[in-house]
Amino acid sequence: MPEGQVVQKTETLATVESLQADFKALGIKEGMILLVHSSLSAMGWVCGGAVAVIIALQEVLGETGTLVMPTHSTDLSDPSQWKNPPVPETWWQTIRDTMPAYDPDITPTRSMGKIAETYRKQNGVLRSAHPQSSFCARGPQASSIVNNHALAYGFGEHSPLAKIYDLHGSVLLLGVGHSSNTSIHLAEYRADFPTKRVVREGAPISQAGSRIWTTFEDIDVDDSDFDRLGEDFLRSEAGKMVQYGKVGIANCQLMPQRTIVDFAVNWFEKNRV
């Protein structure tokens, strides 16, 4: 959204101090492990932009808290699968042969928003090694969350999502809906439903100091029904665990990650046929 439109829809600008108060009112506490999905423009005009949001989150979480964000780079993938936009088939092999390898320091995020893209560059933030489905984190649990991110089945049992689940982390949807809730992908891996299928993915990586194109197995993930799942979740008994509030002018949801993942496993098994 253009900045002028953001200014027009904002009655009171947000600051680091006001954001801290909003995060605390929402239920974020010191020491939490917090996975954040965000839209900066949804918050209205923020003095300091993405930097102010990150500072406020880190201040509320404190030194004992761990802040996690998705830093996916889905453009590092096989061009035969590209749809937004597609490229000519005559380009495919050249792309596979020449696309620079994933580098956690310089590979930018794709469609993750300004907050995540800014956060991944902060000193002390660690980023996982997956060329498409990486996450970044800073705090006492950062290394245990991002290390050893398996190449195959990147949202599965050897992913940061599964580690956040094991550590009883929480999810903050900051101005976004459940279509952006990547933890639901972990439920796709765990659920048993008839349309579930394994696909072959490809990406450029560094191996033994050289760039190579590698292929690996993954689940054909699909977020097209995540909003419907989210609506059912919020109406359910499990949905009572969700805490609602405003950060700036953004509608937000805070929830235990286990609660949404466990609900989603059952939902997929009942609704994906």
Strand partners, 34: 67, 170
pLDDT, mean of residues 36-56? 97
Q: Can you give the pTM of this predicted structure?
A: 0.95
Q: Which amino acid is at 139?
A: G
Which two three-digit tokens encode residue 71? Answer: 């830093």
Is the pLDDT assigned to residue 2 strictly greater than 80? Answer: no
Is the pLDDT assigned to residue 44 strictly greater than 90? Answer: yes
Q: Could you report the per-residue pLDDT of 199-225, keeping only the tens digit for each?
A: 999 999 999 989 999 999 999 999 999
Per-residue pLDDT at 8: 78
Q: Could you report the per-residue pLDDT of 73-130, keeping only the tens digit for each?
A: 999 999 999 998 999 999 999 999 999 999 999 999 999 999 999 999 999 999 999 9
Q: pLDDT-based confidence at 12, cuts 50/70/90?
A: confident
Contacts of residues 61-65 at CB distance under 8 Å and 24 or more positions apart, as own/partner, are: 61/28, 61/29, 61/30, 61/31, 61/32, 61/34, 61/139, 62/30, 62/31, 63/139, 63/140, 64/30, 64/31, 64/139, 64/140, 65/30, 65/31, 65/32, 65/33, 65/34, 65/139
Cα(85)–Cα(81) distance, integer angstroms? 10
pLDDT, mean of residues 163-190? 98
Burial group, residue 268, by CB count within 10 angstroms (0-12, 13-18, 19+):
buried
